Amino acid sequence: MKLKRRGFIRLITVGTVGVAAGGYISFSDFDDLVRHIVTEDTKTLNIDPEVIDRFISDAQSKNMWSGLSFSKKQLIKWSTYLNNPLFSLPYTAKYNRYRSGIVGLFLLSTTFFQDKMNEGKPI
């Protein structure tokens, strides 16, 4: 099968876009991803965005994410960006465990449980 010029250009374009998207996901800031995860999973709660920013800065200062290896962080990044209802990536159960662990740490750092999980009360 001969590859014609248009096919070659499409192949190169798709490859370039794929490499660029992969680089963006791989080298994106983990703290921004944590902010996205916490915001998305707690959107039904009355949370001031400043509280999430304070949590992330505390996590940075205490090196909270040092327990997550590079591969675990990459699993969280790729799964967050690429999971969708049509198909799921491998290790979805691990990803869900890591994601709920991050949100759980955030909620434990707030007054949510002290207020008896009252969703209407500001956190």
Range(s) of the domain holding residue 98: 29-108
Residue-averaged pLDDT of the chain: 87
Helices and strands, counts by H and E, the chain: 5, 0
CB neighbours (10 Å) of residue 102? 20
Q: Which of 94, 59, 88, 60 is nearest to 76 (CA)?
A: 94
What are 71-90's pLDDT values in tens digits? 999 999 999 888 887 887 88
Domain membership of residue 60 (yes or no) is yes
Domain membership of residue 14 (yes or no) is no
Domain membership of residue 113 (yes or no) is no
Please count the structural domains in the chain.
1
Quickly list H helices, 28-69. Answer: 30-41, 49-61
pLDDT of residue 102: 94
- Please, which pLDDT band fits residue 1 given cuts at 50, 70 and 90? low
Domain membership of residue 12 (yes or no) is no
What DSSP element (H or E) covers 6? helix 5-27
Return d(Cα 71, Cα 57) in angstroms, integer: 23
Domain membership of residue 118 (yes or no) is no
The region, left, alpha or beta by phi > 0 then psi within -120 to 50, assigned to residue 2 is: beta
